[in-house]
Amino acid sequence: MSTKRLKIVFLGAGNVATHLSKALQKAGHPILQIYSRTEKSAKELAMQLNVPYTFNLSDLNEEADLYVISISDKAIEPLLAQKDFGTKLVIHTSGSISMGVFKGHASNYGVFYPLQTFSKFKEIDFKKVPVCIEANTRENEEILLAVARELSDNVQLVSSQQREIIHVAAVFACNFSNQMYAIADKLLKEHGLPFNILLPLINETAEKIKITSPVEAQTGPAARGDQNVIDNHLKLLTNFPEFQKIYSFVTESIQSLQETRNK
């Protein structure tokens, strides 16, 4: 499928902006300019793409077909308060900000939310990244769907309400499961043991749920109701009251979801 080449300006130079601008450039869309409040970040990404940059919002290139706002959620409203996009198509890439944020600041707008955890240090196969699209008109929807389908094999229309649910679910599935790894790492380090002994286990845990539901896949002392083990683990965590609290609540939560399962 081939779509029109869109001239694009990126507002933002963080993890998402970096991966998305590279993918769009690779797909043949000219990136006209990178804007970031922080000169260093703007310059860094602009150099990778070999395009101009600015850290001054009033120097924004006005010739683009598409403006992509990819900055931290809390910075989106303040940026829109400073900059009117007129009839230009403008989108953001946030999981949790409603499309309504654009009202009064643009007449053509939408959302392009790539559901993935991006880090600058690691390449991503964009083909496999689910992209959630929303737009204020059917025409804008078609433009965004076409661009998204060039990058990804998994493109879906998702409303603002659905997107915020997906985002909070993603925080549990990604950020919070990663924090469970971080706690494990901390406990092992504290006792001079290597984190990498857990890698096959972590891998298998993430694999299992491709073929069954997480509730069905659950194992371990909480699911088995092995109270002796649970008590012993809580004792082992005495020096980490914060981890102890998490241990207790997550154990309770496992047991309550297992009960639902057995009903």
Q: Which of 108, 100, 166 is nearest to 132 (CA)?
A: 166
Applying CB under 8 A, which of residues 59, 73, 84, 142 lies at the interface with a copy of itself?
73
Block residue for tokens 């204020």: 136
Find the distance separating the first CA and the last CA of the chain, reported in whole Å.
Answer: 48
For residues 28 and 194, which CB has a smaller minimum distance to a copy of itself in the complex? 194
132 forms beta bridges with: 113, 156
The minimum distance between CB 137 and a copy of itself, in angstroms, equals 24
Q: CA 200, 203, 205, 207 torsion: positive or negative?
A: negative
Residues 12-71 that bind a copy of itself (CB under 8 A): 15
R_g of the chain computed on alpha carbons: 22
Closer residue to a copy of itself in complex, CB, 2/228: 228
Q: How far apart are CA 95 and CA 173, in angstroms?
A: 14
Q: What is the DSSP string of 188-231?
A: HHHTT--GGGGHHHHHHHHHHTTTS-HHHH--SHHHHT-HHHHH
Of 23 and 64, which has the nearer Cβ to a copy of itself?
A: 23
Show contacts with a copy of itself in window 86-145 (CB under 8 A). 96, 115-119, 121-122, 124, 128-130
Site for a copy of itself in 164-193 (CB under 8 A): 164-188, 191, 193
How big is the site for a copy of itself, counted in residues (CB under 8 A)? Answer: 94
Q: How far is the CB of 143 from a copy of itself (least distance, A)?
A: 22
Give yes or no for residue 252 binding a copy of itself (CB under 8 A): yes
Site membership for a copy of itself, residue 253 (CB under 8 A) = yes
Closer by beta carbon to a copy of itself, 67 or else 243: 243
Residue 100 or 176: the one with the smaller Cβ distance to a copy of itself is 176
Q: Which of 50, 219, 239, 262 binds a copy of itself (CB under 8 A)?
A: 219
* Contact yes or no for 24/48 (Cβ under 8 A): no
Shortest Å, Cβ 254 to a copy of itself: 5
Instruction: Supply the minimum distance, in Å, between the C-beta of residue 167 and a copy of itself.
Output: 8
Cα torsion at 132, 98, 139, 156 (round to 10°)?
10
| Shortest Å, Cβ 76 to a copy of itself | 10
Residues 189-218 contacting a copy of itself, CB under 8 A: 191, 193, 195, 197-215, 217-218
Chain mean position to CA 4: 27
What is the C-alpha separation between 120 and 124, in angstroms, rounded?
Answer: 10
Closest contact distance (angstroms) between CB of 141 and a copy of itself is: 19
Which DSSP letter does residue 120 get? T
- Nearest approach in angstroms of CB 263 to a copy of itself is 14
